[in-house]
Amino acid sequence: MYKIVVENSGTSFECGEEDTLLRAALRAGIAFPYECNVGQCGSCRFEVLEGEVRSLWAEAPALTPRDHRKGLKLGCQSRPVSDCRIKVRLDQSCLPLFQPLARDAELVSIRDVTHDMREFSFKTAEQARFAPGQYMLLHLPGVPGPRAYSMCSQPNEEGEWRFLIKRVPEGKGSEYLFDHIRPGQKITLDGPYGLAYFREDIDREIVCVAGGSGLAPLISIATAAAYHPAFKERRIRFFFGGRGPADICGDDYLRLLPGFGDRITFHSSISVPEMDPNNMWVGPVGFIHESVEGLLGDKLQDYEYYIAGPPPMLQATLQMLAIKHKVNVEHIHFDRFF
């Protein structure tokens, strides 16, 4: 174990040589800033003032040439090789709700959801403790770096964790999950992580906006809200955007919820009409943020938003909500699925 002192914060934590600075800090209840945990967003940048760290992924996209020149490192990609003194601006909004832990998990079942999306169900000896909307890191044999996947299920005492995973062409992690892992095999799950979780104390109706692989955390949030006593009378509007009709899914999960079709509604759109050569699609064509804008119109400022999906979809939705319609960013919670 190495001792990591955080400059000007009066705080320090221990980090094992197999852990990363970010995750060891969060395990110790220290609010190290982060978002993606996988080297893409740059929120976890820090400076080493004394001591030495080793980078797990020197080419991680989050660090710009300027960051490299300034000697900045990524907390999610750095392991200590000595005691260290570091400079990082702690952010109380990143304080973990549940202590992140690494644990063994056995794959129980795999189910096809669409042509390229599957539900994977894992079981751990420990309870599944997380807030709906959060994600875990999956350590997969032979795949460099863990992969982040959000739970589509609810917290439970039985230790069941369900994920909705989209196959990414040439993607090492999703390829391992789709083509190699079999029920009975074990992997390591580490978490929970993530800041775009269900806020049960906010007195507003909910709008979920998912694109592509962003379905899982929003299914979990919509399910939690559907059964929450304080949300019994509130509407939940669920938007899902895919490229073609074969990508559209999610309503199967929502149909099981009390109030579906009444206070819980599902709205989908496709963005690539060429993927519907026989003109079978009868719903809207366009980007999903356009459907949100079209349906909610001048009421856009009234809702609590949960958004997940690929970065361009996130960017377009945030631009529409926060910049064009001046929705207060405090009411927008999102995860970019890098």
Ligand X SMILES: Cc1cc2nc3c(=O)[nH]c(=O)nc-3n(C[C@H](O)[C@H](O)[C@H](O)COP(=O)(O)OP(=O)(O)OC[C@H]3O[C@@H](n4cnc5c(N)ncnc54)[C@H](O)[C@@H]3O)c2cc1C
Among 80, 145, 242, 250, binds ligand X (CB under 6 A): 145
In whole angstroms, what is the distance from residue 13 CA to residue 25 CA? 6
By the rule CB under 6 A, 144 interacts with ligand X: yes
Residue 58: burial class (beta carbons within 10 Å; 0-12, 13-18, 19+): exposed
Q: Which residues contact 234 (CB under 8 A, 6 or more apart)?
A: 204, 205, 206, 225, 263
Per-residue binding string, ligand FES, 254-293, x by CB under 6 A, is ----------------------------------------
Q: For ligand X, which is the closer residue by CB, 30 or 41? A: 41
By the rule CB under 6 A, 34 interacts with ligand FES: yes
Q: For ligand X, which is the closer residue by CB, 74 or 226? A: 74
What are the Cα distances from residue 226, in Å, to 107, 128, 132, 134, 205? Answer: 28, 20, 12, 17, 11
Burial readout 323-335 (b: 16 or more C-beta within 10 A, e: otherwise): eebebeeebbbbb
62 makes contact, choosing from ligand X, ligand FES, none, with CB < 5 to 8 Å by partner type, with ligand FES
- Please, what is the Cα angle at 15 between 9 and 21, to 5 degrees? 65
Measured from the CB of residue 26, what is the shortest distance to ligand FES in angstroms?
10
209 makes contact, choosing from ligand FES, ligand X, none, with CB < 5 to 8 Å by partner type, with none
By the rule CB under 6 A, 137 interacts with ligand FES: no
By the rule CB under 6 A, 39 interacts with ligand FES: yes
For residue 69, the surrounding DSSP H or E stretch is helix 65-69
Measured from the CB of residue 62, what is the shortest distance to ligand FES in angstroms?
4
Measured from the CB of residue 273, what is the shortest distance to ligand X in angstroms?
24
User: What is the layout of strands, in order, in the sheet containing 2-6?
Assistant: 11-15, 2-6, 84-87, 45-50, 72-74
Among the candidate windows 157-165, 248-256, 314-322, 325-333, which touches ligand X by CB under 6 A?
157-165
By the rule CB under 6 A, 338 interacts with ligand X: yes
Among 24, 72, 74, 327, binds ligand FES (CB under 6 A): 74
By the rule CB under 6 A, 220 interacts with ligand X: no
Binding residues for ligand FES, per CB under 6 A?
34-37, 39-44, 62, 74-76
